[in-house]
Chain A
């Protein structure tokens, strides 16, 4: 269960600045859906190489569902949606608090031969995406894998880039970016904050930053 349900919006800590409002998020998701349709036009209509959206929990999963909804609305093509928990593939499990597993659900038919679009809320170090690629490899062999993120905040530690970016937000490492979605937080928003102490999901003491997913987890 998410800590903050739709009827229990998270209190806004002092010093946070709104970078994207609810309407910004909606507009951005719609634009990304158009970009996905354009880039995967042939695949989307193909039953041989279907397009599958796979969200990375927590907030990547509802984002994937929203993107799929928009894609169906704009193109008339239904895109299967799944969720891929990467907790068991993280390289920072030791020395961190225990992380409960999230649900993994892969559309019937699996990922073999398909175009998989991984969806996450924030792209930061790239370690979550690396873990997701490892997890995906154990599930099958997609024809290709693309990445869609709502926010790219920079500070990559691995040679990765996203195919679809909602908004580029250059940040300092000392700052935090949190994506709030109505499914978990009562309302949609992207907030920029200053890190206070060893914030969850923020930079680790050894300098290894965790990914945006961890950052959005509250």
Chain B
């Protein structure tokens, strides 16, 4: 594996291997005073974020630093992009500086794949940086799906026969897309629950079930994954008001009680409390957002380990 651009780059076995490896990173770091491994010493990892992010960028940064990589953060708001530099030239510059890995977040779907293609063309010796998609437009966010899957496995013990509901702004959500792909590949049943205006066309062709009524689905779910309403991607009205959205699709305390007792509540964050998820629900023992964040570091360590360690021959 040279890049991680999409869940489609993984097979069922390689995805499970990554989850197992993340578990071993967790075990290897547990109880340590020194959370620093020498594994990626001398390697340079650059996070290149053209969109705001706290948890994903910090998570990759910590993952890289715990493995002794030199991590450099480039954000569009403080870089030459503001001066009008193209994505291709930014990629060329970072490649020329000597990045071993580029972790790219971009508002346009497919941008990380373009970066991978361009940097490969720029490297006649075949040693191009590994590119990791840290969220591209409405397309995919593969490491988020992996950390969600790890959290679900921690809580539920496995995926076979489990029913996972993904609720909310599916049409703008890269998290929903990557999760639907990964969870169905791992054997779970996925049901997408959203108002028709927030359901992508052709979603029923993803191998998932589509539903619009949250209340009737809740009792049959082993896990419910609440999504962030991506107001910044919305052009026009997708629902009448935040209040109406909260009434129809917010996971409030009444709805939490409709879930089976052992069901897990996930949210990729940042959470809009009071709208997507109730205040008390977000802090309930069933809710796992902080476990998701903690697992994110171990998953990203596993991904960096897989991409940066090993034979250069497959580069």
Q: Which residues of A contact B (CB under 8 A)?
A: 85, 88-89, 93-106, 110, 134, 138-140
- Pair B39/A88 contact, Cβ less than 8 Å: yes
Query: How far, in whole Å, are A100 and B34 apart by their CA atoms in the complex?
Result: 22
B21: contacting residue among A101, A110, A134, CB under 8 A = A101
Report if B261 contacts A (CB, 8 A): no
A95: contacting residue among B31, B33, B306, B311, CB under 8 A = B311
Per-position 1/0 for B1-33, Cβ under 8 A of A: 000000000000000010011001101100111
- Pair A93/B25 contact, Cβ less than 8 Å: no
Smallest beta-carbon distance A108→chain B, Å: 9
Q: A88-B38, A101-B25, A104-B27 are in contact. Are A94 and B32 (CB under 8 A)?
A: no
Smallest beta-carbon distance A121→chain B, Å: 21
- Pair B306/A98 contact, Cβ less than 8 Å: yes
CB contacts (< 8 Å) of A138 on chain B: these are 32-34, 36-37
- Pair A89/B39 contact, Cβ less than 8 Å: yes
Q: Which residues of B contact A (CB under 8 A)?
A: 17, 20-21, 24-25, 27-28, 31-34, 36-39, 67, 305-306, 309-312
CB contacts (< 8 Å) of A102 on chain B: these are 24
* CB-nearest residue of chain A to B309: A93
* 10 pairs of A and B residues whose beta carbons are closest in the complex: A98-B310, A101-B24, A88-B39, A88-B37, A138-B34, A93-B309, A104-B28, A97-B311, A101-B21, A95-B312
B27: contacting residue among A98, A103, A139, CB under 8 A = A103
Query: How far, in whole Å, are A103 and B28 apart by their CA atoms in the complex?
Result: 8
Query: How far, in whole Å, are A128 and B233 apart by their CA atoms in the complex?
Result: 52
Query: How far, in whole Å, are A95 and B310 apart by their CA atoms in the complex?
Result: 5
- Pair B310/A96 contact, Cβ less than 8 Å: yes
CB contacts (< 8 Å) of A104 on chain B: these are 24, 27-28
- Pair A100/B311 contact, Cβ less than 8 Å: no
- Pair A94/B67 contact, Cβ less than 8 Å: no
Query: How far, in whole Å, are A89 and B24 apart by their CA atoms in the complex?
Result: 14
Query: How far, in whole Å, are A99 and B306 apart by their CA atoms in the complex?
Result: 9
Smallest beta-carbon distance B17→chain A, Å: 7
A97: contacting residue among B21, B28, B310, CB under 8 A = B310
- Pair A85/B17 contact, Cβ less than 8 Å: no
Show 9 A/B contacts (Cβ-Cβ < 8 Å), sorted by A: A88-B37, A95-B312, A97-B310, A98-B309, A101-B21, A101-B28, A104-B24, A104-B28, A140-B33
Query: How far, in whole Å, are A93 and B37 apart by their CA atoms in the complex?
Result: 13
Smallest beta-carbon distance B150→chain A, Å: 15
* CB-nearest residue of chain B to A101: B24
CB contacts (< 8 Å) of B37 on chain A: these are 88-89, 138
CB contacts (< 8 Å) of A103 on chain B: these are 24, 27
B17: contacting residue among A93, A94, A100, CB under 8 A = A100
Smallest beta-carbon distance A179→chain B, Å: 23
Query: How far, in whole Å, are A105 and B30 apart by their CA atoms in the complex?
Result: 10
Knowing that A88-B67, A97-B311 touch, tell me 19 more A-B residue pairs with CB under 8 angstroms.
Answer: A85-B28, A88-B28, A88-B38, A88-B305, A93-B310, A94-B309, A94-B310, A94-B312, A98-B310, A99-B309, A99-B310, A100-B20, A100-B21, A101-B21, A101-B24, A101-B25, A104-B28, A138-B37, A140-B33
Smallest beta-carbon distance B4→chain A, Å: 14
* CB-nearest residue of chain A to B313: A95
* CB-nearest residue of chain B to A131: B38
Smallest beta-carbon distance A183→chain B, Å: 19
CB contacts (< 8 Å) of B39 on chain A: these are 88-89, 93
Query: How far, in whole Å, are A101 and B302 apart by their CA atoms in the complex?
Result: 10
Query: How far, in whole Å, are A88 and B298 apart by their CA atoms in the complex?
Result: 14
* CB-nearest residue of chain A to B22: A101
Query: How far, in whole Å, are A75 and B312 apart by their CA atoms in the complex?
Result: 51
